[in-house]
A = this chain, B = another copy of it.
Amino acid sequence: MAADPLSRVFSALADPTRRDLVARLASGDATLSQLAEPYDVSVQAVSKHLRVLQDAGLVTKGRDAQRRPVHLEAEVFDLMTKWIERYRREAEARYRRLDDVLRDLPADVDPLPPAPPTTGAPS
């Protein structure tokens, strides 16, 4: 469970139940029992989901007597949107350029002389 932050965030949101939790928390903090009520799984299962969201930094838990109000930390979203936007833009730019040039089959282009230029792949 020592994945990089970006992987943890994507992974956390890859589950419908967890996305629903995030969606509900967007409109206000809530406790575990409140959050678990709508689903037909055990409270412990929801607690595990919250743990995953917490490990991803998407959520924090406060203290109020025996209650632990869960709070959404929306800033972490930026991690994802930045990554996405970066490559989306690159791909779109390339698409437009290719639109200009027209579908030109690069017959004399090396199929891959050096891939290295792209190796600067930061996660």
Q: Which residues of A contact B (CB under 8 A)?
A: 3-4, 6-7, 10-11, 13-16, 19-20, 22-28, 30-31, 33-35, 37-38, 64, 72, 74, 77, 80-81, 83-85, 87-88, 90-92, 94-95, 105, 111-112, 115, 117-119, 121-123
Contacts of A83 in B (CB 8 A): 19
- A-B pairs, 9 with minimum CB distance: A11-B14, A74-B91, A10-B14, A34-B112, A26-B87, A26-B90, A27-B117, A23-B121, A20-B121
- Helix, strand, loop or mixed for chain A's interface? helix
Give 19 A-B contacts (CB < 8 Å), ordered by A residue: A3-B16, A6-B16, A10-B10, A10-B11, A10-B13, A11-B11, A11-B14, A19-B83, A24-B115, A24-B121, A27-B94, A28-B117, A28-B118, A72-B87, A74-B91, A74-B92, A74-B95, A77-B87, A81-B85
* Least distance between A5 CB and chain B CB atoms (Å): 11
Give the distance in Å from the alpha carbon of A91 to the alpha carbon of B29 in the complex: 10
